Amino acid sequence: MNDTINQGRFGAAADDGANRPVEPVRVDVQRREIEPGARAMDRLQGAVRGLVEVDLETDLERVRRLAKWLDAKFSVAGFRFGLDSVIGLIPVVGDTTMTLIGFYPLMVARRHKLGKRVQAKIVGNMAVDWVVGLVPLVGDLFDVGYKANLRNLRLIEEAAMKRGYVPPQGGPAPVVPGEVR
C-alpha cells in the first residue's frame, strides 16, 4: 500500500489546489456624486474635525497645568520646584523623560502657528534644561532655578496675546527670576 499524499508548502497534507498562489483581488471604487450623501459626509467630517481640533484656550490651560507640575508644584523652604527637578535626579533617563514631556508646548505652538521664533526659543529652553540637567547634582540645582517649562509657558502666552488672546488671569505667566528675554 503505497499511497501518495499531496504535501503542502510546509509538509502538511493539502486539498486540491491548496498549493496554488492566491491571486490578489482588485476592487475599483468610484466616487459617485450623490448630493444628499455628499452633504452628510461633509457634516460628518466637520464633526470629526471638531473633536480633533482643540482651541488655543484649552491648549494654553494644558500647558499651564503641565508647567506648574513640572516646575512649581512643590515648595520647600521657600523654593518652588516640580517633577522635573525630582525625576531629573535619575541620571540621564530622568532628564530625558522630562525633556520629552516638556516638548508639549512646542506642539501647541506649531498647532496654533505661533511663529518659528517662539518654537526656536522653546527648543532652546528645553535643550539648555536637558544638557545642563545631565550633570549630576549641579544640573538638578540648575533645574530648580531655570524652570524651562514656565519660560515656555510665558513664550506661548505672549505669542498668543499678540494674536489677540486674553489670558483668564488678565496677564501672561509671572516672570521667572533671572529670566533673560
pLDDT digits (tens, 9 = 90+) for 130-157: 999 999 889 989 989 999 999 999 999 9
77, part of any domain: yes
Its pTM stands at 0.65
48, part of any domain: no
Q: Are 162 and 154 in contact (CB under 8 A)?
A: no
Helix crossing, 56-71 with 104-111: angle to 10°? 160
Compute the half-sphere exposure of residue 109: CA atoms within 13 Å on the CB side of its CA.
23
Averaged pLDDT, 26-50? 55
122, part of any domain: yes
Q: Are 53 and 84 in contact (CB under 8 A)?
A: no
Whether 127 shows a pLDDT value over 50: the answer reads: yes
35, part of any domain: no
46, part of any domain: no
Q: Are 45 and 53 in contact (CB under 8 A)?
A: no
Domain of residue 66, residue span: 55-162
* Count of domains forming the chain: 1
